[in-house]
Amino acid sequence: MDTATTYKTKVTAAFNKAAAAYDRLGVEFFTPMGRRLVEHARPQPGQRLLDVGCGLGATLLPAADRIGPTGHALGIDIAEAMIEQAGQEARRQGIDNVELRVMDGEHPDLPARSFDLVLGSYSVIFLPDARAALARYADLLRDGGRIAFTSPVFHKDQFPFLPPLFSRWIPMSLLQHLPPAWHPEQLRRQLHSWLEDPADLEAALRQAGFTDTVITDEVVEMTAASGEDWVEWSHTQGMRLLWQHLPTDEAAALRTRLTGELDALRGADGLIRIDVPVRYVTATVAR
Ligand SMILES: C[S@@+](CC[C@H](N)C(=O)[O-])C[C@H]1O[C@@H](n2cnc3c(N)ncnc32)[C@H](O)[C@@H]1O
């Protein structure tokens, strides 16, 4: 198996495992981010849209709601369990203009020029060659179609996917436990170095066939019911990478530290609020 295939197999297994608990562990993050991405994307009634790496539908379902009964929303995800759960969630919310398929979002097997909008919240970052995928998304769009996606605001010298606050509590020395392929510097180069600098991001989109790129960094307020809830939730997210490779004693020490520090942030209503910088990117196909 080549590196990209091995990587994808691991990502798929991780998200299949996470699906049942995904974003449902007393922590709110993907849902408010998805709703906000839809506000940036501005889907219109009757449009056809594609959500790449739709997960449980944090973006797909509010977008489907906006395009209404004459529109059509297709959600694709590489993890079968995510697609199953998204279907249940759509039925629960009574949204029936949604189609869901298990598909590799890096190579979508879909007709050219068949969508008005391509969405992807915290999913483009998982594609081994996202820049090549962007050009494929441009092909899928009708003239004047748009792309809208989110990514973390990456910083070179902190654990990927975590809000800056956490760099105070998670010593970089713990990252030595990650296998070389998951080392932050390696991940950064392979997956998101092009996302860090807005100029690189804009250039990648231009090269892929997009114009009018708008990059907006905003804060999503993540809420957690308790430090323990946040730590459990982090096992279903990017930080799972770290947890699964930490020696037992280091994992136990980190868990104690994080729950204590997070519980100390509780407000009068008992909720922990953490500001998470999120990058929203929109662009229009250049034809
Ligand atoms: C962090 S989750 C975000 C899910 C959803 N967009 C949300 O905001 O809640 C990333 C999603 O991307 C999916 N994913 C990762 N690699 C993928 C690929 N190559 N093709 C399609 N989906 C992929 C994962 O299975 C997971 O559901």
Tell me what pLDDT residue 16 has: 87
Q: Which atom of ligand 1 is nearest to the CA of 19?
A: 27
Distance 32 CA to ligand 1 centre (A): 16
> Using a 6 Å cutoff on CB, does residue 174 contact ligand 1?
no
> Using a 6 Å cutoff on CB, does residue 178 contact ligand 1?
no
For the ranges 119-133, 170-184, 213-227, 252-266, the lowest mean pLDDT is seen at 170-184
Tell me what pLDDT residue 278 has: 95
The pLDDT confidence band at residue 147, using thresholds 50, 70 and 90, is: very high
Tell me what pLDDT residue 284 has: 98
**How far is it, in rounded angstroms, from Cα 128 to Cα 207?**
17
> Using a 6 Å cutoff on CB, does residue 28 contact ligand 1?
no
Mutation test of ligand 1: which of 98, 123, 125, 233 has the most ligand atoms closer than 8 Å to its C-beta? 123
> Using a 6 Å cutoff on CB, does residue 208 contact ligand 1?
no
Nearest CA to ligand 1 atom 12: 53
Q: Does residue 156 have a pLDDT over 80?
A: no
Q: What is the mean pLDDT of residues 254-260?
A: 97
Mutation test of ligand 1: which of 126, 187, 276, 279 has the most ligand atoms closer than 8 Å to its C-beta? 126
Name, in order, each residue with C-beta under 8 angstroms of 18's C-beta and a sequence gap of 6 or more: 236, 237, 240
Q: What is the mean pLDDT of residues 214-220?
A: 97
Distance 105 CA to ligand 1 centre (A): 9
> Using a 6 Å cutoff on CB, does residue 27 contact ligand 1?
no
The pLDDT confidence band at residue 171, using thresholds 50, 70 and 90, is: confident
* Among the listed residues 120, 281, 280, the one whose alpha carbon sits nearest the alpha carbon of residue 210: 281
Q: Does residue 85 have a pLDDT over 90?
A: yes
Tell me what pLDDT residue 1 has: 62
Q: What is the mean pLDDT of residues 199-205?
A: 97
Mutation test of ligand 1: which of 8, 22, 29, 77 has the most ligand atoms closer than 8 Å to its C-beta? 77
Q: Does residue 3 have a pLDDT over 80?
A: no
**How far is it, in rounded angstroms, from Cα 74 to Cα 64?**
9
Tell me what pLDDT residue 64 has: 98
Full set of structural domains in the chain with CATH: 3-159+190-224+274-285 (3.40.50.150)
> Using a 6 Å cutoff on CB, does residue 137 contact ligand 1?
no
Tell me what pLDDT residue 254 has: 96
**Tens digit of each residue's pLDDT (9 = 90 or more) over 27-69:** 899 999 999 999 999 999 999 999 999 999 999 999 999 999 9
Distance 253 CA to ligand 1 centre (A): 30
